[in-house]
């Protein structure tokens, strides 16, 4: 039997996060959108509350039946992310605590690494001046020197790059060997040779710091590599090695899709409130032929929203239940990113002057939504990944 509703436990997670978003995030949305790069001190209390909720949940408990269906941490992250992004995506990304780098450490780190960096605030360093969506083209290098790695290179568009205390850096051990030589490394902020060089000015998520970071002969301990330092020589081994690095995205793309779902929900809710004031209220019991053009557009957006929401839940459910979800993670990211852009911009149009002005947050939702279609892999890259999975093609066969 297909179950399309979330569990009671996760519904409670959503309700609590939504309340927090409404009363502790939304009131500061405009303030920190205008004061870009200003540290949102009010979010410290939000971070403490979220940390307390995570520790209070006790994590996923072992099930006596190994075959039992599980709704665990991945599902919880997607549900909670949707609610918090409804409040304010930029402020959510600015909350002190867990960053995208934490997901990488959790996904492929050793037990010792996961324990050591359990309370860290880790950012992810992938994008470079000459490398965007093509992660296999990384130029930052990591060279072994005795019992240390020496890292050199530059990373840009690092979310939480300034405020984090730890970095997960993608680097190559040997550029000539292609993607098989790409590994990720844990670099603690304050390490000599690691420097934040600038903060980017952005269209959206302005409350979140986005940094450029340089690495000049930055030395880190040998054990700070995530995964094995071995470089596979055969095609199967190379694919598996890079797949291990890319596994991080299978964990993070569903929550990123949930960000788009949350922003779209915020825009739809605000739009429907404004239209009710004009006498336009949705009635899902009416036939499509008996509704106005505006109502028909709202029905369409609601259906697009629901499709993206369910795809994100499916990808998270698969991760919780140990099922390979690379295709589904990319599908939900592609669908949600596109949906979020379409819905927020259309809501601005439907609400006309109120949608475009700063009297309401609709124009901010539209600006914030664009980044969700870009970071963690662009729309085009997601479609390419899905096509490869469906057609059974390798990256070299389908570019």
CA 314 to chain CA centroid, Å, is: 16
CA dist., res. 357 & res. 352, Å (int): 9
CA dist., res. 84 & res. 259, Å (int): 8
Which tokens belong to 348? 């601005």
The sign of the dihedral angle between the CA atoms of 28, 125, 226, 374 is: positive
For 5, 18, 79, 150, 323, the CA distances from 9, given in Å and listed in that order, are: 11, 14, 10, 45, 22
Rg (alpha carbons) of the chain, rounded to whole number: 21
CA dist., res. 147 & res. 302, Å (int): 56
Cα torsion for 237, 240, 244, 248, to the nearest 10°? 150
65 three-class SS: coil
Q: What one-character DSSP code corresponds to residue 24?
A: I
Buried b (16+ CB within 10 A) or exposed e, 219-248: bbeeebbbbeeebbeeeeebeebbebbbbb
**Burial class (CB within 10 angstroms; exposed 0-12, middle 13-18, buried 19+) of 146:** exposed
Q: Which residues contact 68 (CB under 8 A, 6 or more apart)?
A: none
Residues designated catalytic: 376
């Amino acid at each position: 039997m297909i179950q399309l509703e979330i569990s009671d436990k996760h519904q409670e997670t959503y309700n609590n996060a939504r309340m927090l978003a409404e009363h502790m995030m939304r009131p500061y949305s405009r303030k920190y959108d205008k004061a870009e790069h200003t540290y949102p001190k009010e979010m410290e209390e939000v971070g403490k509350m979220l940390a307390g909720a995570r520790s209070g949940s006790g994590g996923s408990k072992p099930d006596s039946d190994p075959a039992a269906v599980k709704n665990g941490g991945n599902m919880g992250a997607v549900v909670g992310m949707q609610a918090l992004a409804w409040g304010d995506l930029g402020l959510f990304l600015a909350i002190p605590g867990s960053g995208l780098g934490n997901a990488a450490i959790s996904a492929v780190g050793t037990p010792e690494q996961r324990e050591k960096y359990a309370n860290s605030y880790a950012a992810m360093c992938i994008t470079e001046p000459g490398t965007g969506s093509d992660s296999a083209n990384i130029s930052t290098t990591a060279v072994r020197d005795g019992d240390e790695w020496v890292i050199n290179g530059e990373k840009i568009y690092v979310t939480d790059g300034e405020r984090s205390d730890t970095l997960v850096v993608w680097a190559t051990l040997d550029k000539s060997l292609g993607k098989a030589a790409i590994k990720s490394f844990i670099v603690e902020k304050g390490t000599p040779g690691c420097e934040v060089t600038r903060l980017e000015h952005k269209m959206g998520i302005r409350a979140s710091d986005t940094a450029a970071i340089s690495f000049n002969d930055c030395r880190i301990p040998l054990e700070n590599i995530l995964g094995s330092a071995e470089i596979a020589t055969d095609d199967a081994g190379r694919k598996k090695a890079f797949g291990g690095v890319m596994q991080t995205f299978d964990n993070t793309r569903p929550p990123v899709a949930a960000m788009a779902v949350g922003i779209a929900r915020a825009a739809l809710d605000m739009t429907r409130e404004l239209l009710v004031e004009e006498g336009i209220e949705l009635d899902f019991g009416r036939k499509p032929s008996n509704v106005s053009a505006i109502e028909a557009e709202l029905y369409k957006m609601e259906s697009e929203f629901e499709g993206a929401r369910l795809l994100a839940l499916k990808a998270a459910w698969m991760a919780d239940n140990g099922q390979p979800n690379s295709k589904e993670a990319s599908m939900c990211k592609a669908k949600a990113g596109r949906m979020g852009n379409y819905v927020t911009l259309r809501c601005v149009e439907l609400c006309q002057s109120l949608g475009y002005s700063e009297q309401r947050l609709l124009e901010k939702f539209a600006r914030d939504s664009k980044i969700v279609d870009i970071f963690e892999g662009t729309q085009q890259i997601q479609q390419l990944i899905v096509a490869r999975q469906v057609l059974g093609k390798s990256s070299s066969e389908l570019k």
